[in-house]
């Protein structure tokens, strides 16, 4: 017999290294004479999309397209240290560093543009649609590439270099008080599962996932992060287990250590809760790791709702579920 159930999982997650550990990201930026921009960071994009975010930030600040921004990351000959790709920190930490570095390059560009366009102050200049122009007077403008090229011939370069540090404090061991993380991410998920009471097999049918990510810089990418987190959560909840014997891994291959495939993935509804984080770049904060956390609890709670057994160790394998059902029938 197959029975269905639904379960809720909720989580909060402190992003960044936390607990007073130095958490610094740095970035270099240069505006080139063809109107393109280079952003150099030590942040490694391992699929989470951080390079896309940095390109979007620089493009937004300078009035160009993200495709005109080249992000160079992880080349220790030229890139500054931006910390590890961990702790759900790059959008917030390194994103803030990129904004600060772009602001430096932009400030020198606007100062030069004010002279070139005979404007009294740099505050009267704006960057928009690949042009540098006097505010309120669109006719007084130059293409960005032309202005930068002119400046280069005069020995000017538009560079920016800056860092951002997340400020946290150690937790007092006596009182338990402190500010160990900032910002915090929050998420809730509901999972619907189908449990086969004869085999113990669990199929995750649907997951609705609501996550607070500040403001979404790239909504499609954020939805992808949620889907990836749910995939990992399904594996953690139902399949993945390292088996050890006398210090050796007994299941070192993917034929023995099982992970979800696309056929195991549920229908996903991603809900982006946009509560602005005022200290983040464009009010954004991280989403990566928190997307996985509620999935596990939601699935285990849904199994309980479906067949009335509480699985207390992961993964919730068919063997554990059948054993729990057998124990339940004795009561």
Q: Cβ of 329: how many Cβ atoms within 10 Å?
A: 7
Please check whether residue 167 is in contact with residue 180, taking contact to mean a CB–CB distance below 8 angstroms.
Answer: no
Residues involved in catalysis: 289
Can you list the alpha helix ranges (DSSP code H) found in the chain? 50-62, 95-116, 144-153, 219-238, 293-307, 318-330
Distances (CA, A) of 111 to 29, 75, 159: 17, 31, 13
Please check whether residue 62 is in contact with residue 126, taking contact to mean a CB–CB distance below 8 angstroms.
Answer: no
What number of residues does the chain have? 331
Instruction: Give the distance, in angstroms, between the CA of residue 155 and the centroid of all CA atoms in the same chain.
Output: 39
**Alpha-carbon gap, residue 47 to 92, rounded angstroms:** 17
Under DSSP, the state recorded for 67 is: G
């Amino acid at each position: 017999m197959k029975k269905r159930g639904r379960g809720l999982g909720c989580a909060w997650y402190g992003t960044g290294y936390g607990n007073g550990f130095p958490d610094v990201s740095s970035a270099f930026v240069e505006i080139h004479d063809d109107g393109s921009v280079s952003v150099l960071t030590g942040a490694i994009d391992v699929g989470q999309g951080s390079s896309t975010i940095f390109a979007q930030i620089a493009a937004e600040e300078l009035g160009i397209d993200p495709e005109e921004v080249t992000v160079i990351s992880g080349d220790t000959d030229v890139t500054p240290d931006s910390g590890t790709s961990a702790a759900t920190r790059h959008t917030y930490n390194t994103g803030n560093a990129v904004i600060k570095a772009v602001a430096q390059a932009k400030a020198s560009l606007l100062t030069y543009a004010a002279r070139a366009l005979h404007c009294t102050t740099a505050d009267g200049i704006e960057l928009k649609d690949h042009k540098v122009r006097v505010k309120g007077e669109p006719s007084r403008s130059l293409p960005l590439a032309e202005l930068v090229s002119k400046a280069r011939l005069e020995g000017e370069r538009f560079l920016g270099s800056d860092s951002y540090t997340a400020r946290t404090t150690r937790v007092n061991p006596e009182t338990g008080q402190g500010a160990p993380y900032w910002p915090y991410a929050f998420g809730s998920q509901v999972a619907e599962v189908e449990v086969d009471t004869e085999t113990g097999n669990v199929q995750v049918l649907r997951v609705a996932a609501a996550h607070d990510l500040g403001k979404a810089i790239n909504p499609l990418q954020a939805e992808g992060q949620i889907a990836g987190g749910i995939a990992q959560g399904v594996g953690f909840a139902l399949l993945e287990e390292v088996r050890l014997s006398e210090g050796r891994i007994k299941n070192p291959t993917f034929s023995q250590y099982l992970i979800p495939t696309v056929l195991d993935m549920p229908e996903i509804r991603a809900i982006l809760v946009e509560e602005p984080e005022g200290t983040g770049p464009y009010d954004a904060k991280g989403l990566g790791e928190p997307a996985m956390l509620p999935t596990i609890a939601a699935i285990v709670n849904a199994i309980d709702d479906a067949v009335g057994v509480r699985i207390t160790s992961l993964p919730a394998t068919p063997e554990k579920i059948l054993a729990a059902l057998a124990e339940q029938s004795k009561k």
